[in-house]
């Protein structure tokens, strides 16, 4: 779930500072009582109410894959997913699972259509061009 905007956070705290009751703030701004308490505590402890960073490890393979994957797909349009993983490992020295490769191919906007890897809308575009001739 995305964090509430900084503007909403500031409005909540402004209402608290003006002496509005917590239940009235909940009704007016559509936030929970726990959210109000969390914002007041965060401002008291840090002096700021900006959203915190999302915890977890940073992606290690994603940026590299997105940067070079389209070129590989264009250079080898007819190979299987497993072969794409092997090609990536041989060219970049990074082992990539078929699941990761599949997700990244989808993320860059390509899909498996018939016997070729191609941009998701290329088949539709080719059909329209062929029909207009």
- Residue 53 is assigned to a structural domain of this protein: no
Radius of gyration of the chain (CA): 25
Count structural domains, the chain: 2
Whether residue 108 is found in the same domain as residue 82:
yes
- Residue 133 is assigned to a structural domain of this protein: no
Sign (positive/negative) of CA torsion 70, 76, 81, 83? negative
Q: Contact 12/39 with Cβ under 8 angstroms?
A: yes
What's the pLDDT at 94? 86
- Residue 101 is assigned to a structural domain of this protein: yes
What's the pLDDT at 130? 59
Give pLDDT tens digits for 91-111: 888 898 899 888 888 888 887
* Domain with 89 in it: 62-120
Kindly give the parts of the chain with pLDDT less than 70. 112-133
Q: Contact 55/94 with Cβ under 8 angstroms?
A: no
Whether residue 115 is found in the same domain as residue 71:
yes
Report the C-alpha gap between 127 and 99 in whole angstroms: 30
Report the C-alpha gap between 100 and 104 in whole angstroms: 6
pTM greater than the 0.75 cutoff: no
Whether residue 37 is found in the same domain as residue 74:
no
> 93: which 2 tokens?
């020295």
């Amino acid at each position: 779930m995305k964090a509430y905007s900084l503007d909403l956070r500031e409005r909540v705290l402004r209402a608290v500072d003006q002496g509005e009751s917590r239940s009235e703030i909940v009704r007016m701004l559509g936030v929970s009582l726990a959210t109000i308490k969390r914002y007041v505590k965060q401002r008291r402890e840090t002096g700021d109410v900006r959203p915190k960073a999302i915890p977890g490890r940073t992606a290690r393979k994603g940026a590299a894959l997105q940067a070079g994957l389209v070129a590989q797909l264009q250079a080898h349009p007819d190979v299987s997913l497993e072969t794409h993983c092997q090609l990536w490992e041989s060219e970049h020295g990074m082992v990539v699972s078929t699941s990761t490769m599949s997700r990244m191919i989808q993320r860059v906007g390509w899909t498996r259509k018939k016997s070729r890897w191609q941009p998701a809308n290329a088949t539709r575009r080719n059909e329209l061009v062929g029909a207009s001739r």
